Structure 1
């Protein structure tokens, strides 16, 4: 590695989850075992119809294509119109990708951004938006209201609704205001909507809805994932929808990079997007867990802020977040400190709903 200078890793922050390891050890020492509510990885079974589709496509000896099969593109366009309310969606308006995190991390690079360019993202946000900017040498710019940013050099604007970590939902009028501002300043908008199916106290709206984008996809792209809605985090199944010119450029770049969704995963995606029953069933599981955890946390002295959607409870005891992490770890419960997502989260913790019913019940008893 001595010939590599400077190292790319030197541009990046310390991997946040490594800092949680001592608290994980404390929680794991609980006599009844750890209740891990930190990362938010799905724990429920992959629906049977999706597993059948994956297995049925297992005999796939040839290379898949980056753009996916025509059947997959039909499934993507159909879902985007049916579920998001988008209009005029063609195959040119969709693109399968290998995992949404991977897309977020490498998007600025694939768009050709670099030194002198700026990438904006919410002040409280998924850390990979910043990582993506740093990987290509662009300037990361956190915001509270993106329309207050200086648009000079601003090439990419990330939206995230429902939010990770807060669960806040941007209403259609607010999204429309931001999109109009971005278009006026020639700023490309990517909207991370991976939790859109998980609205509890608000109905999330896509950036592709006509009330937001005015019926045209110009300058806007939505990012979607099957990880949470269908328990497919292990499949790395995600996709983009929106501006055909932007997606065409990404398709051309990704063909050279070999970023192909495996053929069995493409078949599984078709099955997942064609079935709403398993999504409803999974929502019911999360609804029960959310109700139990929220009640227990509030009785324990927590205040829950935002959290009207997504798979997290944005919780605070009005103390430094690491004090809260330590307090809960002593009870055998591991949560994510809010400052993982930005300095503005320094007095909150993110509590995930992604644990089995048995582990959620254990957490509730420990909080009582």
Structure 2
């Protein structure tokens, strides 16, 4: 059954916040490992804390509640201080600012599945990763990476590939370098021809590899160390390309799950790029949202699943405070058969109970499926 498409477009000023039920979830923790017998050195052994961490984001085929990170301490008096008390860069909102940038997030290979969002210039690429997971309903259970590219040429904005990049990077004409001094000729050719056809930045997840310049002359940088305000600037001479490309020709290629390769092209309209808010804020403002991805971790064909561009989007995506609730684990998102759903852990627990009752009823009546809501069950029944 094909659902009717819904293009969710709104102004955040007029958006009415959805009511979110308060509740508490049960934490699941692992026991601390037994202490090893210390050597006879005269120094008492100190127990080590184990941290049990599981993915906060909801997956489509499980009823388990999200489990936050928690440190298990058997003997608090003897517990050593953790090595680092730094906040999680993926769930900590950036510094507040009045300066905002408007960007388009286009899911590659899926026409009309996109988001248009205004973001604070203080937003890091770590924040950006979390936002993309939230807006497209993914589970944050795979590796990801991003590249900042210049000399971007976009597809026709009125065509089926609107919002996706046609090409990026360039190799300059050889004649440009024939005027150089002979002793500098080789270095200049090597630098220009390799550099201009590669990204400006390789943006890696926090702690993946050291920063610096790689063989392709692109700088590797941690996603928590790079802000959107360093990519696009009001004075284009100071943007990520140092003025070689105007702001409109700079983009971001984000890839999640290197097996299935979900790719999002992030671009801007230079005529609608910079905005100012009346008061300093630090959360994203979703202006438009259309469609949703296919169900993650699912086979190519799922009975009852709508086309990606026909899926509806929860109105909760337009409530400004909801991204912070998502970062805190109080809201979850998931791309389902017919929609991009945003919900509380309590709502998901009730949904799983309801689906379980439907499965039991289905087993009782054998082939009679009148009481079984197949379209709402994305818990793995298609296998």
Taking structure 1 as the reference length, the TM-score comes to 0.28
Taking structure 2 as the reference length, the TM-score comes to 0.27
Point out the structure with the larger helix share.
1
Flag the structure with larger Rg: 2
